[in-house]
Structure 1
Amino acid sequence: MAAVGNGTAVTHFILLGLTNRMDLQGLLFGSFLLIYTMTLMGNLGMMALIHADPHLHTPMYFFLSTLSFVDICYSSVVTPRLLADFLTTDKSISYTGCVAQMAFFLLHGTAECLLLATMAYDRFVAICRPLLYHTLMSRGMCIRLVAVAYTLSMANSAVQTSNVFRLPFCGPNHINHYFCDIPPLLQLSTGDTLVADILVFLVSVVVVLSSFLLTLTSYTLIVFTICHIPSAMGRHKAFSTCASHLTVITIFYSTVIFMYIRPESGQASNMDKVVSVFYAIIIPLLNPVIYTLRNRDFKRALGKTLRRVKAALSWHRGPFPELIQLI
């Protein structure tokens, strides 16, 4: 390890994990393994179904497919490492590995924020400006919106990661978290973190609050439009759909704001670990369920695919009895 200032540069960190209670390790491993498996199956299944059904090749499902991809990456940055730490006593992560984990986590976390805002805007145009929908949300525009979201996400990830790791780490290396996140890393730095704390706050305000306000504004305008729907059943259905979407959005943004947009955001605590579970692990599981639960087109496509699979299995089973009789 190279000497830095009055101390020695840290070459690896120790992740303390969710809890140090050994009696809970097996239960937590099983629970998070189930969550991660369902997250992968739900999001991969959504992507496959959207790709396979031509009726789902619309802007809304294009964004949903992209969100599923982001959720898979987002969850995979954190959960496999967490699962491994439940099974081993060596919870060390290299300095380079910590940098990479933070960079990819911020990349896909920011993309999640921006995509949720983009999807809210897409629904606003579809419901409030239906005559202009195909013009405003053309395929080229959808691709450009996703490209802009990822470009901004990469920029935010680069700024935030370099902001943290430009600081000296020459003392304690035990991270009070289950992955390399900004608040617990700032707490370990042996340098002055005032400028870093301010930058984290300002950038988070710009990225998180701007996307949250755009999302909230879009859904507010959608609700006003829904209120003018003459059919009571139509209003109820639209409100219930928006309510389910807003539930996920509220959980995601409230936990992210708690972590990154608050006084002394660099002071990590055990509560931070619990809060981070919601936006890093639970939300990627909920998204494919919430965004398709009340969607007739998606359920119709799923039913068609299941019938096709059932028919294919029946066809494969059919010839074998006859073949046996011939033999």
Structure 2
Amino acid sequence: MKPVFSIAAGLVFVLSACSSKKSEEEKPVDLWAKEHKNPFITHMYTADPSAHVWADGRLYVYASHDIEPPRGCDLMDQYHVFSTNDMINWTDHGEILRASQVSWGRPDGGFMWAPDCAYKNGTYYFYFPHPSETEWNTSWKIGVATSKKPASDFTVQGYIPGIDPLIDPCVFVDDDGKAYFYQGGGGVCKGGKLKDNMMEIDGAMQNMTGLVDFHEAAWVHKRNGIYYLSYSDNHDEANLHNRMRYATSNSPLGPWTYRGIYMDPTDSYTNHGSIVEFKGNWYAFYHNSSISKHDWLRSICADRLSYTENGLIKKVVQTAGKK
């Protein structure tokens, strides 16, 4: 009688090999890892990316614009919007606002710094810092422009009254529809609840406590019931470039518990980031100077961001220049 075991063993081996081959063939290709490149906008200089996913399923980035020849940040005069459906191919929707359209703005223009955008009840609200006087450093206001579209037809409605002359607006809309406003600069970070009109503070702004080495660029996102406030610090000890830090809380207005650094310095003097989930993956947006090699001619980038099992952010691996 021929041994049955050897035939069965051979059959098992063949089936196992076929199954393994089929598994390899059916494994989905990670197009992000294969085709993503940084910076992802290369035809113009952009900075301060504010990333949002809206109801149409696309991811939109609202960015400031560095203008040549560079002269610090004072020539920044326009805002652009870019969008994607796959984080690989990007559409430039063009300019949506410039200083000359701000009636209450600084007569000499310029100084259109890091913006943000929010959506509520059918309207997109675009928030931007801009001085109202020639003496720019003491006359900052947070302007508000609105549109029924996410990337065009914005009209300036005014500015948020009664708040300190600080920069870097951020608006976070919670799961219950309540909106919160944040701003900060020069080591001060403040937050408050917005009224339903999205243009006035409901109550008083309050200091965001518990942050370590805050400089500017506040950004708030939420994951698994935890609120995260990320921000730019006051530069590292080695090359005087910003790192990105973060803190967490059980409330959108804190108090905050400092958690650490989630992004090391780039090759640019500044950094300004946003964090967003898109199609099941989390991404960190930021800027660097890898194209221009100049601190004030920056380019926006994005890399994947991940969390530990207990909700802490892992250090982001920058992939500047990857093709």
**TM-score class normalised by the smaller sequence:** under 0.3
Pick the structure with more helix per residue: 1
Pick the structure with more strand per residue: 2
Pick 1 or 2: higher relative contact order, CA cutoff 8 A, min separation 6: 1
TM-score by length of 1: 0.22
